[in-house]
Structure 1
Amino acid sequence: MKIETHTPHIEPDWAEAFLLELRLRGVGGQRIGAALAEVEAHCAESGESAREAFGDPAAYAVELAPARSVVAPDVRRELGTSALGLGGMLLTLAAVGAWQSGARVEVTAGIAAVLVLVLVGTTLVVSRAEQLLRAVVRHWWVAMLGATLPIVLFVGVLLLGRQTVFTVAAMPAFVAGVALLAGSTARSIRTADTVGDPVVGPEGAGGAGTVGEDRVTRALERVGPWLFPVLTVVMALPLLLI
């Protein structure tokens, strides 16, 4: 997805790499906008390309912001919210299925193992947040592997670990699942409503350095908080109709 920085005299790939590196290093939106506007003004006046004038975008970003990145807290918050939503969805669906069959919710060895894997994976992602984010933004296949491998692993573990560890009544499990979904949704909405740190160029720069959001991004931001509840309802309907 192309990032529009309103800097027509800067090569688009240079501007994107420069912006992403500064973001990964924890630089604020206004400071990034000012840096982009400064590069744009120089290139417009001198006729040089950004690479000719400032060199490699990542290296120039390091010169401007040598301090260490501070992205881990945001990643930790998002992972925690997603874990709540995923747990609530799985528990609610298990409760609906058990209620339909007149049985109790069975917690198997596979489910317990998946929960442990989620905790371990979340810890690793948080502790290596900066390295993982760099890999994702630079190599599309890393994001694909990160999205598919855990699913394959979890399904395999669930299929192998079918031994029942303990059982829970359907209604308490359903209430707990809905509570987790509500908590995840509330956290997502609160995060979405929080004023972010948009990249904005300085006044008098004619909009240079200001990154505009596209319609897809705005739509995803609105739908995102309701993703797990919607998925739960869609997946529960076939169980209720059986």
Structure 2
Amino acid sequence: MIGGIRLDETVTNVVIPTFDMKLLKPTIFTSSQAKRDESMMALLSDVVIGTAAAPTLFPPYSFQITTSEGVTTKFNLYDGGLVAGNPTLVALTETVKEMNGNVDYTKFRVLSLGTGTEEFQGYEADSHCWGKVALKYLLYDPILSTAGERMAEVYAGMLLRTDIYPNNYIRIQIDTLNSTENNMEDPSTENLQNLVEIGEKLLNQTLTRYDPSTGRFLPVSNGVTTRQSLLRFAEELSAEKKRRETKRKLFGAI
């Protein structure tokens, strides 16, 4: 349990996007900022509940932080997925802010885990009329729910130069779920087990990558599986950790 752990006390740096429904703006919580700014030194549990408050599924979440000088900041939070369904760009931006000097994006390694989306067909422009739709439909209409995520895919690929360095950015995502598999209101044991099986199958299937020309996740040309790609990613991280530890022993803090 995370109990009374504050954001500035996390084992590793974290970046958690939320949306403040009172101020109508994204609010990004980071452990690095919490260490510098007492007004952002939130309980990790508060931030997690706020970023998970998906509309129609969970109520919005409110909490406040009072600094040692008596200044109180109140947050009224909704699901971070409203502004960052794929938070890769948020993580990249916050990482770059902590770096000094020129940034070489080709040295970044990003692993992004999606939660799966339902397979859908787009609309012809003259056949789709918004009308007076319900909030739930509006929020989960395919056009609105995927637009931001797709833009994140395009820009992440551009920044990380995946056209030249395809292994720099791995996005594990499936966009062919049916309505039953994608039903977030069904926490039954049967449905959860079905999702586990989908994930296990995904590991053994060919890795997919977002294709801007079709708007779909398509199998990579070299046939590498998701499992193989993740193992290679882990090996790279392990090698980098050993390299840094060796450098630290020889030359002190990096």
- Give the strand-richer structure, 1 or 2: 2
Q: What TM-score comes out, normalization by structure 1 length?
A: 0.24
Larger relative CO (CA 8 A, sep 6+): 1 or 2?
1
Q: What TM-score comes out, normalization by structure 2 length?
A: 0.23
